[in-house]
Amino acid sequence: MVQEGTELLLVRHGETEWNVQGRLQGAADSPLTAVGEADAVKCRDRLARGSRAPCVCYTSPLGRARKTAEILCAGTSIPIVDDDGLVERSFGVLEGLTVEERKAQFPDVKLRSPDDDYAPPGGESRSSTQARAVAALKAIAERHPGERVLVVTHSGWLSSGMRAVLGMPYNVVKGSGLALPNTAINLLRWEGAGWQVQLWGERGEFGERQVRRVGELSELGFAFAMGAAFALFVRRALALVI
């Protein structure tokens, strides 16, 4: 059972060379750019303003996530633990390719499909990634009852896991749904019978003085800006059991 008040700080890795080049990463890897490393330092500074420090950092063992975790925890006593459950979804033969290269080399292979069980050749299905993400969230939370835990992972993993938590349907149109910027801070807190989103996609857009005015979101020293429709959705429907 997950204990009341347990918190997970979810952070996507910093910008990578393949992000800049428009190459699909998946379970393959690419090093952080100078911008990615600098953004991770800024994220570390924002995390340091929180009301309490994470007790541990779990990270995907892929290099881009591991490097981000090392930057986030530099100068602290926070231990870093590799967790295979946090690895990005594999896209098989499509990994490492740009959109143009994918069309030229694999014109009949789809990247996205409304079928949750579809996987590109050699890749992983969305349903498999989602099940893995949900299991990892639950296992990590149960190991640290009532504590705050830092988790460094990937956009596809975050999308799959959060859609399960929020009960959001998948949309095959890229860019629809959840915003998943690099090094953004996302906060889940277990309340009642499920996870509730306290913060999403925060990259330092809000100053500390403004944040003090938003009540329950002020614990991290950041604010969560969301549209009115999604705000209403959050208030009514976030207490969903994993």
Q: State the number of CA atoms in the 13 A half-sphere of 62 facing the CB.
A: 25
Q: State the number of CA atoms in the 13 A half-sphere of 113 facing the CB.
A: 15
Known catalytic residue at 154: no
Q: CA 238 to CA 165: how far, in whole Å? A: 8
- Stated as kind and residue range, the H or E segment containing 199 is strand 194-202
Q: Which residue among 7, 13, 124, 144 is the active-site one?
A: 13
Instruction: Indicate left, alpha or beta for 191 from its phi (over 0: left) and psi (-120 to 50: alpha).
Output: beta
The radius of gyration of the chain's CA atoms, rounded to the nearest angstrom, is 17
Known catalytic residue at 88: yes
Q: Which residue among 15, 17, 70, 88 is the active-site one?
A: 88
Active-site positions? Answer: 13, 88
